[in-house]
Amino acid sequence: PENWDLAWERLQKTSIILERDSLLTALGCTKDSNLLSKYLELSVDPTSTIRDQNKRYVYLAIGGSKLGSQLMLDWLETNWESIKEFYGDTFVYNVKNMVSLYPETANTQEEWDRLNAFLTAHRGELGSSAVVVDQGLDKISANIKWRNNFYEQVMQWFVNNSP
């Protein structure tokens, strides 16, 4: 938490675009779920210094890990109405950034079911982001199929070829 707070403080002070973008991404890479939750809340805090055009970096950084993508989907579902109200006309765009990386690490039927339930519950409000979620379901299906067909063989290969 100490390093995260230090990076957050630095973000508040920097005027260098490259440094700001790097810090926005780095803050979302923590494995601490409390800090990820805090970062998500800061992204929709009207007093936050995270600029609207940079929220994409926040969501993609958080969504880049299995923990982060699952946490963000929980957060999105739990706070759906307030997030929708906060973003207004840019809601669909921001939701796309929030859910687009979930399928990258999802490879179980439970994860497919979860995203499908999300799509079913919110399809009417997702607009063009529904396509991203549909494509995500296809990706998860492919991940499940790969895991069912090759996971054991690959793991056995590693066991047989490890020093």
At 14, which helix (H) or strand (E)?
none
Helix axes 91-99, 129-161, angle to 10 degrees: 10
Hey, how many other C-beta atoms are within 10 angstroms of the C-beta on 2?
6
Chain-centroid distance of CA 92 in Å reads 15
Note the pLDDT of residue 122: 96
Q: Which residues of the chain have pLDDT under 70?
A: none
30, two tokens: 């923590």
pLDDT in tens, 100-128: 999 999 999 999 999 999 999 999 999 99
Query: Minimal CA–CA distance to 127: which of 82, 83, 97, 91?
Result: 91
Give the separation between CA 102 and CA 83, rounded to whole angstroms. 18
Note the pLDDT of residue 1: 73
Note the pLDDT of residue 163: 86
